[in-house]
Amino acid sequence: MTVPVKLSRMAKCHLASGVLFSLALCAYLLAGSYRTSLIEIRSGVASMRSNAALMASDTEGIEKRQAQVRKALPFGYASSSPRELMLLSVEKLKTGINGVTMTLDEFSETGETLTLPVVMEFDTDSFEEGVKGIEAIRSLKMPYFEFRNIDIRRLEGSYSSARYKVEGVMTMPAQKIAAPSEAEKKS
């Protein structure tokens, strides 16, 4: 064998070993990149699982709150308008508090809230009756009564009798609170 043939064999061997080394290096880099991607995917999946658990507990909490809201809705809510419900509540208060005189202002609708300013006056023979009257007003859940002013004055000639003047605003949503539709539940 001559020197050029030996060099060409050596060049071929070097070339083949270079190609093999390049392939091995590429495989190593690809495996490292694959490993990094796999780690990222695993952490993403773990994050999704923890988020799914949090979302499930949040959804359960929302459903409980919706059930509480539905329980707070007055009888006849589905078949009456918000204005009718307010007037029914006024009538309920009128029958629940002895001798009450009520002055109603005009309905006001701002955004999603319906309001009705109310002034109530009633006389009581005892402090206990007055507290019961205030409690009757306070017990309203829907519409909610927001107290603005309570004025208590003793009636002349009596130690325990008093005149109560309660000013406030009845407030409730202007639109119906509806249960979510099947399409909303799925989305």
- Mean pLDDT, the chain cut into blocks of 10 residues (187 residues total): 67 84 87 86 87 88 85 74 87 89 91 92 88 88 88 84 92 74 52
Q: Are 99 and 124 in contact (CB under 8 A)?
A: no
Per-residue model confidence (pLDDT) at position 169: 94
Instruction: Give, for 179, the enclosing helix (H) or strand (E).
Output: none
Per-residue model confidence (pLDDT) at position 56: 87
Please indicate, yes or no, whether the overall pTM of this predicted structure exceeds 0.75: no
Nearest one of 112, 102, 110 to 167, comparing CA atoms: 102
Nearest one of 176, 105, 118 to 145, comparing CA atoms: 118
Residue 77, token pair as written in the block: 């809510």
State how far the Cα of 15 lies from the Cα of 25, in Å rounded to an integer: 15
Per-residue model confidence (pLDDT) at position 7: 65
State which amino acid sits at residue 107.
F
Pairing of β 144-154 and β 162-173: antiparallel
Per-residue model confidence (pLDDT) at position 186: 54
Per-residue model confidence (pLDDT) at position 164: 92
Instruction: Give, for 101, the enclosing helix (H) or strand (E).
Output: strand 101-104
User: Domain 82-173 belongs to what topology?
Assistant: Alpha-Beta Plaits (3.30.70)
